[in-house]
Amino acid sequence: HAKERGRNNYQFFHQAMNQRAVERQLIESNLRRALEQSEFTLHYQPKVDLQNHRITGVEALLRWMHPEWGLVQPERFIAIAEECGLIVPIGRWVLREACLQIVRWREASIPGVSIAVNVSAVEFRQRDFFDHALAILEETGADPACLQLELTETVLMRDVATSADLLARFKALGVKIAVDDFGTGYSSLSYLSQFPIDVLKIDQSFVRAIDGEAGKNGAIVGAVIDMGRNLHQRVIAEGVEDEEQLAFLKAHECNEAQGYLFSRPVDAALMQAMFGTGIAA
Q: Which residues bind ligand C2E (CB under 6 A)?
A: 45, 61-62, 73-75, 78, 91, 94, 118, 120, 150, 180-181, 238-241, 258-260, 265
Among 97, 150, 153, 256, binds Mg ion (CB under 5 A): 150
Q: How far is the CB of 180 from ligand C2E (least distance, A)?
A: 5
Between residues 218 and 265, which has the closer beta carbon with respect to ligand C2E? 265
Nearer of residues 69 and 260 to ligand C2E, judged by Cβ: 260
62 touches which of Mg ion, ligand C2E, none (CB within 5 to 8 A by kind)?
A: ligand C2E
Q: Are strands 256-257 and 40-49 parallel, antiparallel or unpaired?
A: antiparallel
Closest to ligand C2E by CB, 113 vs 257, is 257
Of 47 and 66, which has the nearer Cβ to Mg ion?
A: 47
Determine contact, residues 49/279, Cβ cutoff 8 Å.
Answer: no
Spell out the residues 6+ positions from residue 33 whose beta carbon is closer than 8 angstroms to its own: 39
Select the span of 91-99, 131-139, 206-214, 236-244 touching Mg ion (CB under 5 A): 236-244
The CA distance from 108 to 110, in Å, is 6
List the x/- string, 87-126, binding to Mg ion by CB under 5 A: -------------------------------x--------
Query: Are 113 and 105 in contact, with CB atoms under 8 Å apart?
Result: yes
Q: Residues binding Mg ion: what is the number (CB under 5 A)?
A: 5
Pairing of strands 199-202, 234-237: parallel
Judged by beta carbon, residue 70 or residue 111, the one nearer ligand C2E is 70
Taking the C-alpha atoms of residue 124 and residue 143, their distance in angstroms, rounded to an integer, is: 21
Phi, psi of 186 (to 5 degrees): -120, 70
Q: Which is nearer to ligand C2E, 7 or 32 (CB)?
A: 32
Listed residue (103, 161, 105, 96) closest to 135, CA to CA:
96
- Please, which residues bridge with residue 180 across strands? 152
Contacts (CB under 5 A) with Mg ion, residues 176-195:
180-181
Q: How far apart are CA 220 and CA 138, in angstroms?
A: 40
Least distance to ligand C2E, CB of residue 163, Å = 16
Q: Which does 45 bind (CB under 5 to 8 A by kind): ligand C2E, Mg ion, none?
A: ligand C2E
Q: Does 148 bind Mg ion (CB under 5 A)?
A: no
CB of 240 to ligand C2E, least distance (A): 6
Neighbours of 194 (CB within 10 A): 12
As a three-state string, the secondary structure of 240-252 is CCCHHHHHHHHHC
9 binds, among ligand C2E, Mg ion, none (CB under 5 to 8 A by kind): none
Cα–Cα distance measured from residue 64 to residue 18, given in angstroms and rounded to the nearest whole number? 25
Residue ranges that bind Mg ion, judged by CB under 5 A = 118, 150, 180-181, 238
